[in-house]
Copies of this chain bind each other. A is one copy, B any other.
Amino acid sequence: MTPGLPPRHEIDELLRRSLAEDLGTAGDLTTDAIFDEDDTCTARIVARAAGTIAGLDIATRVFTLLDGRVEIEAHVVDGDRVTAGADLATLAGSTRAILTGERTCLNILGHLSGIATATRSVVDTLADTSTRVADTRKTTPGLRAFEKYAVRCGGGINHRFGLHDAVMIKDNHIAAAGSVKEAIAAVRRRVGHTVSVVTEVDSLEQIDDAVEGGADVILLDNLRGEDLRRGVERVGGRACTEASGGITGTTAGEIAHCGVDVISLGWITHSAPRLDVALDL
């Protein structure tokens, strides 16, 4: 089943914003001077490197916004793995629209596919475990919905989307409330019954506190090796366990083998290199 796309109005707003910064108010000076309104062409979108695709329909919609008559045929769907050289889509229509939208399309597709590819590489590493790979809120400003979509395309799951859709109790909250347990209690009194509570812990005592307080997710922050294994055991299945903090593609496997339910990584969204994609006329 394909992951649900970000809301349509978010997609169109991203495309409008991206076109606005590229076109300014003068438009595509070069293309408008060389090609006439009626000129047409066909073009292929290709992957120049192997990876996992995300955002193909989103990115090619830019041509529809520029000229509703451009025909777009996708050859893969989001989440597919492709090899270098793979044909991703074929375009046919107005040359002005296709050349004018090219860079905006590729920037979106390359960025999101880069994230899906990075996510997929970690997910593959953990294939022999039941640990799942999650993102964080360390996303590029203004692109969170899209980057989290790309994570889903890469086989990962989404951590909370923001400050608004789950509680996460961190050190400052704990210090102010007095303890993990009191922090959870304070939150439970005020938020709705459908809100999940995640809490960071950094000691075995806090784990007990979190479990007794009724945390839904216990985030074992920056624990490694034996400490992490012991933490997971202490939770004993009474809450979901999550490992976080500086986890790389290399260390992910070892951490997963400590039995944690979820590992979350910031770099898959904030520092994944772009997947090289191109448009050939």
With the chains together, A7 CA to B30 CA distance in Å?
14
Chain B residues, Cβ within 8 Å of A165: 24, 26, 29, 161, 164-166, 194-195
B4/A34 in contact, CB under 8 A: no
Chain B residues, Cβ within 8 Å of A120: none
Known pairs A3-B32, A33-B190; A17 contacts B164 (CB<8 A): no
Q: What is the minimal beta-carbon distance from A15 to any residue of chain B, in angstroms? A: 8
With the chains together, A137 CA to B266 CA distance in Å?
25
B32/A160 in contact, CB under 8 A: no
A contact face: mostly helix, strand, loop, or mixed? mixed
Q: What is the minimal beta-carbon distance from A142 to any residue of chain B, in angstroms? A: 5
Interface residue range, chain A:
35 or more
A163/B23 in contact, CB under 8 A: yes
A24/B140 in contact, CB under 8 A: no
Closest to A59 in B: B141
B141/A107 in contact, CB under 8 A: yes
A148 within 8 A of B: yes
B176/A34 in contact, CB under 8 A: yes
A141/B14 in contact, CB under 8 A: yes
A236 within 8 A of B: no
Closest to A137 in B: B103
A240 within 8 A of B: yes
Known pairs A8-B65, A21-B25, A23-B7; A132 contacts B193 (CB<8 A): yes
A21/B176 in contact, CB under 8 A: no
B30/A163 in contact, CB under 8 A: yes
A190/B8 in contact, CB under 8 A: no
14 intermolecular pairs with C-beta atoms under 8 Å apart? A17-B142, A21-B145, A21-B161, A22-B144, A25-B148, A26-B161, A28-B163, A29-B166, A30-B173, A30-B187, A103-B138, A161-B165, A165-B165, A165-B195
